[in-house]
Chains A and B, each alone.
Chain A
Amino acid sequence: AQSVTQLDSQVPVFEEAPVELRCNYSSSVSVYLFWYVQYPNQGLQLLLKYLSGSTLVKGINGFEAEFNKSQTSFHLRKPSVHISDTAEYFCAVRGYQGGSEKLVFGKGTKLTVNP
């Protein structure tokens, strides 16, 4: 069964520092990968997605992620974070398995950007 592991539950960083939020997935089939963000007291919105093609994917708010098939990873990066990036970030995978294409999420990484 497909699954997603987000290795860090909390990541504190200072403003303007770079950040990497790690995500590993397991799936025996071709997958589509997503990063969602949830700002405090708000719903989930899509940051970026990997479907095929270039392994480096750019999203909103200066975020990017790199798909690495051999390491089954899809880490999210930003070269310089802002206070407004404080939020919870979720990695998700969808792959066709057992007649279902359900979208499975990791447990999330809470990013806190400090001044």
Chain B
Amino acid sequence: GAGVSQSPSNKVTEKGKDVELRCDPISGHTALYWYRQSLGQGLEFLIYFQGNSAPDKSGLPSDRFSAERTGGSVSTLTIQRTQQEDSAVYLCASNPFGSYTEAFFGQGTRLTVV
């Protein structure tokens, strides 16, 4: 596609349920990021995939959070046993190979845990 695509755009879930958020990066982009944006907290880094290298998971806030990237393309962020503090906008970004290149962002998934 022309840009980074995220689905769903909005998700309301009950506390304790599991959710899956999907990201479709720009075709050919080797790097993919997940961030969490909460009011006043900026963009909190969650996880970074680069090609076939082991992902940098240093930003995942707890073991309830996990992500995978299949075939070097689509990525899924899974949050298990959701809590109210997980409510935020989850942003995905991708960039071509090379650390000098900028990241392109999707529109995000707004997650509300009730």
Binding site for B on A (CB under 8 A): 6, 9, 32, 34, 36, 42-46, 49, 51, 90, 92, 94-96, 99-108
Contact = CB atoms under 8 A, between A and B. Distances in A.
12 contacts: A32-B100, A34-B102, A44-B105, A45-B105, A49-B102, A94-B99, A99-B53, A100-B50, A100-B56, A104-B45, A107-B40, A108-B43
A105 B37 CA distance: 11
Interface in B64-114: 91, 93, 95, 99-100, 102-103, 105-108
B91 A44 contact: yes
Contacts, number: 61
B48 A100 contact: yes
A77 B100 CA distance: 22
A96 B108 contact: no
Contact of B107 (A43, A101, A107): A43
Nearest to A46: B102
Contacts of B95: 103
B93 to A, nearest CB: 8
Given A101-B99, A107-B40, A43 B105 contact: yes
B50 A101 contact: yes
A111 B56 CA distance: 32
Listed from nearest, the 4 A-B pairs whose CB atoms lie closest are A107-B42, A105-B43, A100-B56, A44-B105
Interface string B14-37: 000000000000000001010100
A9 B50 contact: no
A36 B107 CA distance: 14
Contacts of B33: 102-103
